Amino acid sequence: MTPEDLLVEADRCVKCGLCLTVCPTYRLLASEADSPRGRISLIQALAKNEIDLHSHVEQHLDRCLNCRACESACPSGVKYGSLLDASRSAITTEHRKKPLLKRLLRQLSHAQKLNFWIRLYHITRRTGLLALAKILPFSRLRQLLTMADQLPVNPADRTGFYASKIPTGKKVQLFTGCIGSKLDDNLIKSAIHILTSLGYAVDIPSDSQCCGALHRHNGFIEEAEQQCDAIRKQTTKSGAQKLITLATACHLELVEQQASRLPLASISDFLLQLADKEMPELAPLPIKAALHRPCSSRDNSDWQILNKIPQLELVELAENELCCGAAGSYILTQPELSNQLGELKLSHLKTSGAKILITTNTGCAMQFRQQIKQAGLAIEVCHPIELIYQQWNRAATNPATR
């Protein structure tokens, strides 16, 4: 988006204020500068050189979660997310800001580098040094180390080809992402077992890439485009019929940037498209579960797939339209605001009485697990497909449960 395009899009905002009630940061801070229309005004002034970064404009832009709830509320259809990304890109390009964040994102989005840091983290943790680091007065460092506790001690590598258990000749490629490829190992295994059992060979390429969303939303557009270009090249030569995604944030980025040369489907959507006779029987699960809808996905596919589990009492998490505070790297860059939003979600979860929290986004799952752990609650956090596979496996191993 050129500066001229940015101003044209920003000028479409009529400052009506309908976005205010759906904006998480405006709700927390009650500051016009931390609302969508306030930030658009700042973006316009910045683009016209009427203000500079020393006037705290960058602080207000950085506080935005980019949840894009305001886009749904906007009667003029202003593309707020694109405005924010373009503005952050202009700031990082012209002012060379946030070198440490840029380096961190490079480490997180590269599989081998991430493996190294995970192993180093757990080695250092055993020495007790990290416990001391967590009491230092640096909130971002404390948050990073606290969230890192969720990383596996021995990160698995699930890249490779998995043959179909039924000779159908069908093949799909599975997009596991960067952090998700390490943190969501049980989900990846569940997806592989389901797909291969249904007659689909599964390919997870060794050169799998990050979707680029973390880079793009922090203003590093060039790095994001490099990731997307690599995915386009990889999917062009794949030979698969579809690219199946597991995390909604990755799925949204791939769709909006047209980064896949293969037809794209979330795993829930993919399973829903199958004929009923192809879906396996699932064991009953008489338990209450709350469904969280990430900002990156507001559709109904996860609700529909979960309703195939007999006796599951599924409820919507209250205020599902409000961001949980994870928002990609926001959980690390704005820990105070992120935790406030997370605590609000946790209060709704406790009120629901659910024993399982279901979400389809890796960052959201990390946020909920951390909040649940800090509160000392016994609530499981999982992806819909993990629950589907669990009940499928139970039905297969114990026919009496059907």
Q: How many CB atoms lie within 10 A of CB 7?
A: 15
How would you write the pLDDT of the chain (402 residues) with one tens digit per residue?
Answer: 777 888 899 999 999 999 999 999 999 999 999 999 999 999 999 888 888 777 788 899 999 999 999 999 999 999 999 999 999 888 887 666 677 777 778 877 787 788 888 888 888 878 877 776 667 667 777 787 788 788 888 888 899 999 999 988 999 999 999 889 989 999 999 999 999 999 999 999 987 778 999 999 988 898 999 999 999 999 999 899 999 999 999 999 999 999 999 999 999 999 999 877 778 899 999 999 999 999 998 788 999 999 999 999 999 999 999 999 999 889 988 999 999 999 999 999 999 999 999 999 999 999 999 999 999 999 999 999 999 999 999 998 877 665
Choose among 357, 361, 326: nearest CA to 184. Answer: 361
Choose among 315, 316, 307, 267: nearest CA to 285. Answer: 307
224-263: b (≥16 Cβ within 10 Å) or e = beebbebbbebbeebebebbbbbbbbbbbbbeebebbebe
Q: Is the model's pTM score more than 0.85?
A: yes
The radius of gyration of the chain from alpha carbons, rounded to an integer in Å, stands at: 22
Helices (H), 296-381: 301-306, 330-333, 335-352, 362-375
Give pLDDT, residue 96: 64
Query: Which residue type sits at 235?
Result: T
Q: Find out whether 190 and 385 touch, Cβ atoms under 8 Å.
A: yes
> Measured between alpha carbons, how far apart are the two ends of the chain, in Å?
55
Distances (CA, A) of 252 to 91, 246, 255, 299, 307: 24, 11, 5, 12, 24
Q: How many CB atoms lie within 10 A of CB 395?
A: 18
d(C-alpha 146, C-alpha 374), whole Å: 10
Show Cβ contacts of residue 167 under 8 Å, excluding neighbours closer than 6 positions: 199
d(C-alpha 340, C-alpha 82), whole Å: 26
Domains of the chain are 3-95 (1.10.1060.10), 99-148 (no CATH), 160-272 (3.40.50.1860), 281-401 (3.40.50.10700)
Tell me the torsion sign for CA atoms 91, 253, 364, 106. Answer: negative
